[in-house]
Structure 1
Amino acid sequence: MANPLLVFRVGYMKTYDGIDEIVGGGAYVEENGEGGEMWNFRYEAGRCYGFVMTKDITRKYAKKKRFAGINLKRIDPTQKWRENESLPGVDIVYIAKHPDGGQVVIGWYRNATVFHKAYRKRRGRPKMGDWAGLDYLCEVDADDALLVQERDRDFRVPHGKGFIGQSNVWYPDEGNPEALRIVDRLRKYIGGSTGTRVNPTQGKRGGKWSKPNKDLVTQIEQAAVALAEKHYKQQGYAVKSVERDNRGWDIEVRKGKEVLYVEVKGHIGNVIQFELTPNEYLRLQEHHSRYRVCVLRNATSNGNELEIYAPKVVDKYWVLQRLDKPGEIRFNEQVAAKAFEAVLP
């Protein structure tokens, strides 16, 4: 069965790996000369993070803008989607208005993960001229993100009512035969073998990335734990490692009558994304007043800013809130089950 397919219309650029000249893409880009899509094909620790401007749904007198995001019900109406839940296995085709006229395919993601009606945020890299925070509403393994070289952007897509380009996000209408023909052409294009597409593992501002191996994962974990232990020792706590005890946290710290259970998460890049095991998530809730999660970004690049979060219930859902300044990590709860063959009487 083919993956669901979406089409995102963005501003036109050469490389999409940082701030550079961008044209088209809607009113915001035209007015400001910049847009969140400028980073759509930058490789970040083996991943790419996608942005497209969606409809402004800010309510009257709201304190800050809010945008529609992607409606996963348009892709899978059988599910009861909650905001920020994710759907993997989606193909995304990026198009832009060519300076010479017409809309062309500039790149695509295969097997991307898309979030329901939500943007997530990652840190920018100030030394590269990035914005402080970069929004994204989908992500993909870097090996599945391909950018078409500018000289080869000759796959044109139609524009008009019911077709691509009336809005920045196009959900193919299965009841429209012409739309289905366009989808078929796009699928063949992104799935075909051709020399006109490139997978830019070397961006003009970044190095070549590869998937972290087991040794690198261990290095990241050790760097994060070492920094967490150092932090708490400097605060006057006695520190004990319990990583091998399967307690649901990595270290225990004590100072007088105060005892904290600390889980540590290291990251190779700038984006916070991690999983809690069922045991860790259970202990987080059970010991929420004592539980802490320490996060270290850029662990292999001499990262030294330890972020400490504590669990809290917000709107009936568990979140992690940063202790020293505003910041929040949210969870997507997932239910798993193991199957076994039963012995029948």
Structure 2
Amino acid sequence: MLNKDTGSTLPPIIYFNIGWMKRYAGADADDSTLGGHRWLADHRHGLECFNFLPTKKGTVEGYRPPGTRDKVNIDRLGAEPGANTIEGVLVVWLAREPGTGKTLVVGWYREATVYREARAGQYNLDGVNSEYSVTALKEHATLLPVGARSFQVPSSRTARGEGFGQKPTWYGAPTVNKRVWTYVNGWDNANKQTKPTNGKQPPRNTDPELRRKVEKAAVQHAWSYYEAKYGKDCVKSVEPYGYGWDLEVRSGDTEWLVEVKGLLNTGLACELTPNEYEKMCSPKQRSKYVIYIVNNALAQEPEVPIPTIFTWVGGKIWQTEDGRELHVAEKVGAVLTCK
């Protein structure tokens, strides 16, 4: 039932405000649920921890905090009178970012089924059976990596009539819905073109001016990301010096050496120079070294750049915060001449 033209028709949209997590793939010890819901005051995880964990049926089942009412008013989404479900809904998951307090889009379900009353799930958490109010095929579910969560949804305090209130369920507003729908389509369309290339040679951009613009945009993206995370004046450019990385980030005891790579929609594949690769592998630098890759680097609103951030976790393994692993294919080159 996925729309053939996902950019043309605005579907019913509903928003659920849940606790903040990295993966929402179960009650993992390293992925606590952070939020202000009453349950989380005494528990490490909320039932939303299962929201992006695929079931054996190939679906995802989304929990939303019930608030003061257990039922979802699916009539507001266009459900038939007396119906218990409505299909074809875009469900947008919101969460408050720790530290900044911003309410950000963390993911969504396309073509979801929303239930008027919550249903019993298959998991157990601290003696409580899970439940869900939404379901979708797992391939229609998108969870944004932590570093890519940037779309802020306004609250009713700052945008009267166009922002969410204190309840965990919000039925949206026309202006916000259009922006969100465009954002979702922009992300999905860009992401279709950023699949791993299994170590194949990345396409080479032969236009030097375009390469310069792409790299500049990628560096600016990384700069903004670290300033938002650690504060103003924490970033220094060392691009002209040939250190083997582009940016140095320092805040208190935190230090990162950030090598930035900018790409168009060419798949997540890029090259390091011999100097950059040496620094990446060096025992002296690797614990602080960061590979910051920006796909769709020249995107203009409402489309978005897609950052992927890799750090060293031990051995020869480089991973993102949500567990995706970087594949490294070493190259041997030669210089050929003829007199």
Q: TM-score, normalised by structure 1?
A: 0.47
Q: TM-score, normalised by structure 2?
A: 0.48
